Structure 1
Amino acid sequence: MGLAGFAASLTIFCLGLQLYHYVLYPLILGLLARVMGRRKPSAASIPALRTTMIICAHNEAGVIAEKIANSLALDPSPDEIIVVNDGSTDDTLTIARRAASAAAHVQVLDKPERGGKSAAMNYGAAAATGEVLVFSDASEMYERQALMHLLAEFADPTVGAVSGSHRVRPPKTERDLVGKSEGLYWRYEDFIRRSESAIGATVASVGSMLAIRAQDWRPLPPGTINDDAWITMSTLARGRNVRFAPRAVSWEEASESSAEEQTRRRRITAGRILLLGRPEIWPLKRPAVLAAFLSHKVLRIALPFLMIGGIVANIIVVWLAPGWWVFALTLVLQLIGFGLAAAGYLADRTGRRWRLAHLFYHITRSNLSILLAVRDIAVGRSFLKWDKPSR
């Protein structure tokens, strides 16, 4: 074959998988969802299930009172609200107790020693009395009927867990465009999750709005970083279904800096990589779910390596076989993509608006986060306990 031929094959392989992940997989999902899509549950189908909302909080003094008030105002309101104070060093515990005193069905559990979110979730679940457990972050504010849309999905007895839609509020200043990238990312994710849910293959959930039947709940293993991914995949692997409720919406303020957002994504990615080594999350007996998991989540981890391999191999092809004009074209397109990412970085730094450049910048930054997460794992860095980004 020769070096040029090998490099050409590698270029096609790397670019093909990137194209499949970013474009073809969502398109295929969208088409399948239109053909196979199930009927949306109606408000009249809401089952009468006792509901416990569990809010895990560490140093959330600035938002915990608002979060409790938001939870009490939901329609329907949770039958029980449990706030787990996970070793906060600020006034979270005091403020939470003051806010909870107005409602008898709100209890605050103090966990003096910080153990991380997964330990706090286990702590709260052990005290819960609900038939459905709804896990939420303190910084997430639910729309008034979010719980109604979550519970409607449980009318199907095969459904073990349901996730809502995470939205990011616009940035506070014109110079901070992080929220625009975050919002674009979550709209893209929502489309994929909505399509996966329609064909019965939901493999992604958000921990800020994740409901699970108490009978399907299993305590999170020690050291779990991605609690939402573990709950989703282990539930699927046991033969239960997971749904996405797009009308169950929660809102969060955008991160105040790109550095904070990248640190968050590094932590999530590191947790996802480590999760692959746990046999209980692999849905080997469910081919459609396994295909969605490989396409949506596993392939994403390989993207930065495919990106690097694709452009390096492409350069080698053009260098050794300049007459192969198709590869010259793919190289130009890749360079344009990297150029747009660089322009997006500059736009982010200067507060300028350029949606296309920002999109390429976000993709490149996400892939950089994966590389950094791999390095973090290699050097033994722990993300079990982490500081929340400023909002």
Structure 2
Amino acid sequence: MMLLFWICAGLVAFSLAGYGVLWCAIAAVAGRRVQLPPEQPVRATVLIAARNEEAAIRAKLETILKQDCGPHRVDVLVVSDGSEDATLAQALSLNSPRIRAFQTAEHGGKAQALTAGLARIESDVVIFSDANSMLAPGALRHLLAPFARPDTGGVCGRLLPQRCKSRGGWLARAERLFWTYDSLLKAAENRLGGAVSAQGTLYAMRRQLVPERVPGDVADDFYISVQAPARHRRLVFEPRAVAQEQVSSHTGDEFMRRVRSTERGWRALMRMRRLMNPGRHGIYALQLLFHKGLRRMVAFLLPLLLLLSLAAAAESGGIYTVGLLAQLLVYGLGAGPLLWPALGRLPGTGPARFFVMGHAAMGFGILRAMAGVHSVRWAPARRMADE
């Protein structure tokens, strides 16, 4: 029993903190700094799959047209996924020769829209970016610069959650903290085995590496971006390629977004599980295993650890009792405000709620994937309620 407790506790601690600390330390000592050659002109197309995004699509396109792309030629293709609003009209209203847009006959989901768009792209590089993420000045030039190296298969940008006009609530603050940590970890991984995968706000891939059809039941950003390491090309993290995006501060919206994201991400990871073979993919395989595989298993290790702590505390007390009380405190701060909102004013409640909600959604998402649930179409959350 005690051995199981320490194994479980060790796996949880390593996944939540140990891996990040270890990888940052290794990267600082043994990581390689890749020197980029002079920029080589790249012909790229920004592919945007949009569904009912009339409120955001024009502003998004304006951030692209204002970019200083240096020697690169960047065009835009907007695919309106059967939108029921003026998304297509707004995309065409800029009257730019660099922008093409069309609408699918029906709402088939993001993957289907991406597949339809890819059939019309012949450029050297495809840039993927969400309709509601705004690009910081210089983002595209920084994103395309690493393609001067022939071993670069794809480049990931950095997500910078926007501060809301209102204070944004505990969820938005916790989200910003999470993405700060995520960027530090990606920078360390980049110096060792390369970035693990991209996030859909902004990333680019060589056209020849992008599959002609994007499966509708997987996380498209993960599935597309890992095609680079699958073909033994490097996936680069470029922190200067910044995309800004507001996150929902409505707990229900965010919970279901995370459930769907985990469900689709788990299915994509299982389809590409061959990449977790160190014999073929070296240190990248370990990064994928720890960052994506083990990290998702924490959702199931946490309740197991709680049960083991109960048994160990009853048998031996001491440090096991302290560990049990610490877990109960975190879960109490995280879930308590749902039953008694006044608890939300206690210090540490925000991070605890983020922790509990995130892992509950992760576990639920994996169970949905194992049960055969396939989330293909949905309406994205855009509410930014004050909390």
Q: Is TM (by shorter chain) over 0.5?
A: yes
Partner residue, 2:191: 198
Mapped partners of 1:257, 1:143: distance in 2: 25
Contact in 2 for aligned 1:176/1:351 (Cα 8 Å): no
The structure 2 residue matched to 1:10, chosen from 4, 19, 25, is: 4
Q: CA deviation at 1:12?
A: 0.9
Are positions 1:288 and 2:283 aligned together?
yes
Partner residue, 1:313: 308
Partner residue, 2:148: 155
Contact in 2 for aligned 1:81/1:105 (Cα 8 Å): yes
Percent sequence identity is 28
User: Which segments of 5 or more consecutive residues in structure 1 lack a partner in the other structure?
Assistant: 1-5
Contact in 2 for aligned 1:118/1:227 (Cα 8 Å): yes
The structure 2 residue matched to 1:219, chosen from 212, 224, 233, is: 212
TM-score normalized by the length of structure 1: 0.90
Q: CA deviation at 1:281?
A: 5.6
* 1:332-371 equivalent positions in 2, closer than 5 A: 332-342=325-335, 352=345, 354=347, 356-371=348-363
Partner residue, 1:3: none
The structure 2 residue matched to 1:372, chosen from 364, 367, 373, is: 364
Contact in 2 for aligned 1:38/1:199 (Cα 8 Å): yes
Q: CA deviation at 1:337?
A: 2.6
Q: CA deviation at 1:205?
A: 1.2
- Secondary structure of residue in 1 paired with 2:115: helix
Mapped partners of 2:203, 2:381: distance in 1: 21
Contact in 2 for aligned 1:236/1:242 (Cα 8 Å): yes
User: Which segments of 5 or more consecutive residues in structure 2 lack a partner in the other structure?
Assistant: none
- CA 1:66–1:347 in structure 2 vs 1: closer, same or farther (change >3 Å)? farther
Are positions 1:208 and 2:193 aligned together?
no
TM-score normalized by the length of structure 2: 0.91
Mapped partners of 2:73, 2:339: distance in 1: 45
- CA 1:160–1:168 in structure 2 vs 1: closer, same or farther (change >3 Å)? same
C-alpha deviations, 1:49-92, integer Å up to 9, x for none?
Answer: 11111111110010111111111011117531111111101111
Could you tell me which amino acid in structure 2 is paired with residue 364 of structure 1?
Answer: V
- CA 1:350–1:309 in structure 2 vs 1: closer, same or farther (change >3 Å)? closer
Partner residue, 2:27: 33
Counting matched residue pairs gives: 379
Q: CA deviation at 1:113?
A: 1.5
Contact in 2 for aligned 1:193/1:204 (Cα 8 Å): no
Partner residue, 1:133: 126
Contact in 2 for aligned 1:11/1:311 (Cα 8 Å): no
Are positions 1:187 and 2:180 aligned together?
yes
Partner residue, 2:292: 297
Could you tell me which amino acid in structure 2 is paired with residue 52 of structure 1?
Answer: T
C-alpha deviations, 1:8-64, integer Å up to 9, x for none?
Answer: 22211111111101111001111121123333656x732211111111111001011
Are positions 1:69 and 2:62 aligned together?
yes
- CA 1:291–1:137 in structure 2 vs 1: closer, same or farther (change >3 Å)? same
The more displaced of 33-42 and 128-137 is: 33-42
- Secondary structure of residue in 2 paired with 1:127: coil
- Secondary structure of residue in 1 paired with 2:181: helix
Q: CA deviation at 1:338?
A: 2.4
Partner residue, 1:272: 265
Contact in 2 for aligned 1:165/1:247 (Cα 8 Å): yes
- CA 1:345–1:196 in structure 2 vs 1: closer, same or farther (change >3 Å)? farther
Contact in 1 for aligned 2:92/2:99 (Cα 8 Å): no
- CA 1:366–1:57 in structure 2 vs 1: closer, same or farther (change >3 Å)? same
- Secondary structure of residue in 2 paired with 1:382: coil
* 1:52-67 equivalent positions in 2, closer than 5 A: 52-67=45-60
Contact in 2 for aligned 1:171/1:180 (Cα 8 Å): no
- CA 1:259–1:376 in structure 2 vs 1: closer, same or farther (change >3 Å)? same
- CA 1:350–1:13 in structure 2 vs 1: closer, same or farther (change >3 Å)? closer
Partner residue, 1:23: 17
Are positions 1:385 and 2:380 aligned together?
no
Q: CA deviation at 1:218?
A: 1.6
Mapped partners of 1:370, 1:185: distance in 2: 15
Mapped partners of 2:66, 2:230: distance in 1: 35
RMSD between superposed Cα atoms in Å = 2.3
Could you tell me which amino acid in structure 1 is paired with residue 205 of structure 2?
Answer: I
